[in-house]
Structure 1
Amino acid sequence: MIQNTPIKRKSMPRTIGLLTMAIMSIFFVACGDRQSEKEEDHPDVIRRQITEYRKEINELTVKVNEMERSLIARGEQMARNVQTPVSVDTITPGLFQNFFRVSGTVEAVNTAVISPETSGHVTQIYVNKGDQVSRGQIVARLSTDVLEGNVEEVKTSLRLAETVYERQKRLWAQEIGSEIQYLEARNNVESLRSRLATLQSQLEMSVLRSPIAGYVDETNIKEGELAMPGTPIMKVINLDELYINSDVSEANLSFVERGKMVTLRFPAFPDEIMETPIHRIGHVINPENRSFRMQLRIANQDERFKPNMMANVSIATFGVEDAVVIPSMLIGFDTQGHYVYTAGERNGIMVAHKTYIERGPDAEGKTQVKSGLAPGDKLIVRGHHRVSNGDPIRIIENGESEVITAHR
């Protein structure tokens, strides 16, 4: 065992090396002992030896760590003897676009609120909330007993009036009777026919139909209740097309125009990204929040998106050609500024370089680098959080195992 005695600064690295050699010697001696002494081949003896060796290794490791901390406290930087596996991307200039983002809500383009045009008690409701309906489908029916009685009464009166009119017409053709009798008979027939048409129209109003195809979203009445004209009893929505409504600050008015392509995302579907044009722009600024309405219109063929869902809309403000663009998550910061890690060769060995950059604007998880990186530089994109400046690295391809190997 190595005693914990004070060590001078210049002798500490040598001491660490001696400790490493001591550990290796223990294993060599153990192997030799097992080969020379047959009695030590017993499993119980081997297990006891393993336990003792592990205990000694742990004690040595603790002392090595203490010495390393002592060196670090004195300003020494410990040399690393492993190659950290990393992945790199080669810097290639491209288009950088700056965006601002606004929130939006989803609204169905076609929505119908069904209400009766005449009063009556609801006798039958043919659909339930959530049911799919077609255009023109009957969804409810009102009581028609009084109307049907009036219709039969008018029909009876009309048959009599038509008989009287035909007789007066024949007599008038024979110049028998007065003209006023003939005109009164004809007027009575026309009046009853008009009244019958009105009653039949009111009878038709007692049958409530869906004006659009879609789904029953709300039912606000029950069978037996009284329905009044203008009172909503049912709501039907169609999900084939949707509006995305957003309130945009007036400060961004110059960046928004009808037909401009924007990026649309839904928090409920993180992998769904859509490029769609601006459908409509409001012409009035809301004085309460100094914003105006912007509206998108999208197809919803699979009906995944629902009304009142949240959406995020990204709108480009400017673009830069041939810009150096990197993921924002790779950028670190210290007292000297922003930096990234790049891969380069030093003395025939690939090492990580801490490269300071001038950071530009951020957009959609990307950052424009104004200076510090050049096309062709190899940017460490995986393993950047495990390296420091000057550390040996090993560049691996995607899918290759990230096993840390000793650098000899």
Structure 2
Amino acid sequence: MKATLKFLTLAIVMVSAFGCAEEESVEAKKAELEELKAQVIELNGNIRALESELIELDPEFAKQNQKSVLITTADASKGNFEHFVEVTGSVLSKKNVSISAESSGRILEIPAIEGMRVRRGQVLAKIDSESIQRNIEEVENSLSLAMTLFEKQERLWKQEIGTEVQYLEAKNRKEGLERNLASLKTQLDKAFVRAPFDGTVETVQVRLGELVQPGAPMFQFVGDSDLFIEADISESYVGVLGKGDSVRVNFPSIGQEIKTKVSSVGAIINPNNRTFKVEVFLPSIANVKPNMLAVMKIKDYENTEAVIVPSKLVLSDNRGDYVFIVAEGKAKKVYIKRGKTFQQNAEILEGLSGDEKLVDKGFREVGDNFNVNIAQQ
């Protein structure tokens, strides 16, 4: 037993000693690593300082020491530059009306439903007209008798029998009843609410069995023709946009684009959002419906001889806008005067002639007079 205890004690002492030795070895390595890093930093600093001195003393060394940057190029071009105001509008109809009742009575039928497309004259609802129908029957009976009496009186008058007064009274009675009958039939026709033109029933505002009075709204109805597009334009474009300006209209829901013109420009600024209304003529196009979303591009500027460059290549500093062009194997920094920008193109008013090669990929890695190597595209 004593021998066993002595062995265990010895083993514990050896393990502890080994652990301490290993810990001291790790700390030593860490210290050595930090020392080497400090030496690298010092060497890099010395190298940069020495290079700076050599560049000042020997220009040829500067040229040889400067690395080339791998780039691609893009051509500046000269041509027609167009700027558009891009806004979102809605397709509306000038035939957006509320259809009201023209006679009083209880609603007997409502054939129309919301979203239903109907033709002109198609019945949308029927109002109870029983009393009018009875009046028509009574007037028709009276008219039949008055017609018979008038015909007899007319024959007698032609035979110079009877007085002229009797003849005129019979004629007046007949004509009066004819006018009453025509009036009653007009009232009967008003009991049928009809579509005033081809279009779509937007909303049905009455229910079956409901009592209506003349002038009570029954349907909201939108016509298929006389469509136009309306949009709100920022007041900053007042005086820039005018009637007759060219417009490109895109309908995202049907993937169709057309070219048309501004038909009307509003004269009042909305104080709530500082915009004014613009209406655009919309020709007859299949599948275009009222309230459809339309994206409009209204041309407000054009330069037929503009220098055009990709807008992403235009950079700025404290002095102004600039681009990098490629000349004699180097990147040259050229300051420019930028005009308008639309989508991915920028108009250049000064600084470029239009035949330069611009630094494209790699334009953020180059500087003025950097050596460049053009990659094959």
Q: By the TM > 0.5 criterion, same fold?
A: yes
Map of 1:71 onto structure 2? none
Cα 1:198/1:240, change in 2 over 3 Å: closer
Map of 1:302 onto structure 2? 286
Question: Aligned match of 2:131 in 139, 146, 153?
Answer: 146
Question: C-alpha displacement at 1:326, in angstroms?
Answer: 2.0
Question: C-alpha displacement at 1:322, in angstroms?
Answer: 2.4
Alpha carbons 1:113, 1:236 under 8 Å: kept: yes
Larger Rg: 2
Map of 1:377 onto structure 2? 356
Alpha carbons 1:106, 1:308 under 8 Å: kept: yes
SS of aligned partner of 1:362: strand
Question: C-alpha displacement at 1:292, in angstroms?
Answer: 6.0
Map of 1:22 onto structure 2? none
Map of 2:347 onto structure 1? 368
Question: Aligned match of 2:260 in 268, 273, 276?
Answer: 276
Task: Give distance in 2, aligned partners of 1:312 and 1:341.
Answer: 35
Alpha carbons 2:326, 2:332 under 8 Å: kept: no
Map of 1:129 onto structure 2? 114
> Does 2:218 align with 1:185?
no
SS of aligned partner of 1:195: helix
Q: Deviations over 1:286-343 (max 9, x none)?
A: 59689765421112513346427464443424x4342212232332223443233444
Task: Give distance in 1, aligned partners of 2:304 and 2:276.
Answer: 31
SS of aligned partner of 1:185: helix
Alpha carbons 2:326, 2:358 under 8 Å: kept: yes
Question: C-alpha displacement at 1:388, in angstroms?
Answer: 3.0
Task: Give distance in 1, aligned partners of 2:114 and 2:187.
Answer: 27
Cα 1:204/1:344, change in 2 over 3 Å: same
Cα 1:177/1:141, change in 2 over 3 Å: same
Question: Aligned match of 1:223 in 204, 208, 215?
Answer: 208
Map of 2:300 onto structure 1? 316
Map of 2:313 onto structure 1? 330
Cα 1:203/1:391, change in 2 over 3 Å: farther
SS of aligned partner of 2:201: strand
Task: Give distance in 2, aligned partners of 1:360 and 1:378.
Answer: 17
Alpha carbons 2:107, 2:209 under 8 Å: kept: yes
Map of 2:105 onto structure 1? 120
SS of aligned partner of 1:126: coil
Percent identity, aligned pairs only, is 28
Map of 2:39 onto structure 1? 6
> Does 2:336 align with 1:358?
yes
Equivalenced residues, count: 322
Question: C-alpha displacement at 1:167, in angstroms?
Answer: 3.0
Map of 1:395 onto structure 2? 375
Task: Give distance in 2, aligned partners of 1:113 and 1:106.
Answer: 18
Q: Deviations over 1:150-177 (max 9, x none)?
A: 1111111111222222333344444444
TM-score calculated relative to the size of structure 1: 0.66
Q: Deviations over 1:191-221 (max 9, x none)?
A: 1111111111111111122122222212111
SS of aligned partner of 1:93: strand
Question: C-alpha displacement at 1:249, in angstroms?
Answer: 7.0
Alignment map for 1:138-287 (pairs within 5 Å): 138-246=123-231, 254-264=239-249, 268=252, 274-281=258-265, 284-285=267-268
Task: Give distance in 1, aligned partners of 2:229 and 2:362.
Answer: 39
Q: Which amino acid aligns with 1:377?
A: E
Q: Which runs of 5+ in 2 are unaligned?
A: 1-28, 49-64
Alpha carbons 2:114, 2:204 under 8 Å: kept: yes
Alpha carbons 2:91, 2:292 under 8 Å: kept: yes
Cα 1:195/1:11, change in 2 over 3 Å: same
Task: Give distance in 2, aligned partners of 1:328 and 1:82.
Answer: 22
TM-score calculated relative to the size of structure 2: 0.71
> Does 2:123 align with 1:90?
no
Q: Deviations over 1:216-244 (max 9, x none)?
A: 21211122112332333112323455322
SS of aligned partner of 1:140: strand
Alpha carbons 1:355, 1:372 under 8 Å: kept: no
SS of aligned partner of 1:233: strand
Q: Which runs of 5+ in 1 are unaligned?
A: 14-77, 398-408
Cα 1:252/1:371, change in 2 over 3 Å: closer
Question: C-alpha displacement at 1:129, in angstroms?
Answer: 0.8
Q: Deviations over 1:135-160 (max 9, x none)?
A: 22222211111111111111111112
Question: C-alpha displacement at 1:344, in angstroms?
Answer: 5.0
Q: Deviations over 1:104-124 (max 9, x none)?
A: 443224334322322222211
SS of aligned partner of 1:127: coil
Cα 1:385/1:220, change in 2 over 3 Å: farther
Q: Which amino acid aligns with 1:4?
A: K
Alpha carbons 2:339, 2:346 under 8 Å: kept: yes
Task: Give distance in 1, aligned partners of 2:112 and 2:130.
Answer: 23
Cα 1:294/1:287, change in 2 over 3 Å: closer
Task: Give distance in 2, aligned partners of 1:80 and 1:273.
Answer: 50
SS of aligned partner of 2:154: helix
Task: Give distance in 1, aligned partners of 2:253 and 2:117.
Answer: 25
